[in-house]
Amino acid sequence: EITFTLEQGVGVITLNRPERLNSFTAVMHAELARALDTLEAHAGLRGVILTGAGRGFCAGQDLGERKPAEDGSRRDLSENLEKLYKPLIMRLRALPAPVVCVMNGVAAGAGASLVLACDVVFAVESARFIQAFSKIGLLPDAGGTWFLPRLVGSARAMGAALFGEAVSARQAEAWGLIWRVVPDADLAATLADVRATLAAGPTRAYAATKQALHASSGNTLAQQFDLECALQRELGYTDDYLEGMRAFAQKRAPAFGGR
């Protein structure tokens, strides 16, 4: 239910259940977990791209798999969240390389949370975000209540989460929920550009940047200085820093090897 390639250090995960807008099933979760095993074990990892097949990115949990019991019985929803969604989101956040979402269409429910867990998000102009949870009597999960207020502030987070109205890609960009909107026609080109950028990037610097920016929301300024010192010390010894400085002096583009 996904396709996964790993070339030149860049993993591309494509959610692939287009007829159900790539909504999550247990099978899809298992396949994503296997892809993450591979990505985590790859010493030369330089980036990951997440996208979807068809007109949607991800419509959240497959509601067919979680059918409300017609007989009125209730169920524990936390198990799925703890065993499937939490590891997925936490593992993507912890990867020592940027995870870039190239959002090809609508993201709803846990699908929206997945997008927000990515380090950088490009979205086609026709894409929308829907905090669909309240419409089925739930709260935003899969990290949604953590990501949303940090990205857009509590007023917008509350409005979006409580009322569940669609947020357009343009609005999401204006709010700072995503990095950039691209024309629908540029989807494939955006994916190719991101792939080339990640494959040729200063991978160690990217990893340190990701780590530091993620750590900042729980740190004081003094703690963040300590982290910057520790990480910059390491980067000062990398091949890529040497190459970056040489390229600057020689007025040419750097050729980073990711080391």
What x-and-dash track marks residues 149-188 binding ligand LHQ by CB under 6 A? ----------------------------------------
Binding of ligand LHQ by 1 (CB under 6 A): no
Q: How far is CA 213 from the centre of its chain?
A: 14
61 lies in the binding site for ligand LHQ (CB under 6 A)? yes
| Contact letters for ligand LHQ, residues 91-130 (x by CB under 6 A) | ---------------x-xxx-------------------x
Q: Counting beta carbons within 10 angstroms of the beta carbon of residue 84, is it exposed (0 to 12), middle (13 to 18) or buried (19 or more)?
A: buried
Provide the b/e sequence for 162-191 (b: ≥16 CB within 10 Å).
Answer: eebeebebebbbebebbeebbeeeebeebb
Shortest reach from residue 141's CB to ligand LHQ, in Å: 5
CA separation, residue 149 to residues 130, 153, 184 (Å): 15, 4, 28
Q: Is 197 helix (H, G, I), strand (E, B) or coil?
A: helix
Identify the residue among 16, 42, 66, 186 touching ligand LHQ (CB under 6 A): 66
Would you count residue 64 as binding ligand LHQ (CB under 6 A)? yes
Kindly state whether residue 23 participates in binding ligand LHQ, applying the rule CB under 6 A.
yes
Q: Which two tokens stand for residue 170?
A: 């343009």
Q: What is the number of other CB atoms lying within 10 angstroms of the CB of residue 223?
A: 12
User: Contacting ligand LHQ (CB under 6 A), which of 6, 54, 81, 156?
Assistant: 81
Q: CB of residue 200 vs ligand LHQ: minimum separation in angstroms?
A: 35
- Distance of closest approach, residue 254 Cβ to ligand LHQ, in angstroms: 42
The whole-angstrom separation of Cα 170 and Cα 17 is 26
List, as own/partner pairs, every contact residues 170-174 make where C-beta atoms lie below 8 angstroms and the sequence separation is at least 24, other chains included: 170/125, 172/123, 172/129, 173/123
Alpha helices in the chain (DSSP H): 26-41, 78-80, 86-94, 110-117, 144-152, 154-163, 169-175, 187-199, 203-216, 221-235, 239-249
145 vs 224 by CB, closer to ligand LHQ: 145
141 touching ligand LHQ, by CB under 6 A: yes
List the one residue from 136, 174, 245, 255 that touches ligand LHQ (CB under 6 A).
Answer: 136
* Least spacing, CB of residue 56 vs ligand LHQ, in Å: 6
CB of 77 to ligand LHQ, least distance (A): 4
> Where do contacts with ligand LHQ occur on this chain (CB under 6 A)?
20-21, 23, 59-64, 66, 77, 80-81, 106, 108-110, 130, 132-133, 136, 138, 141
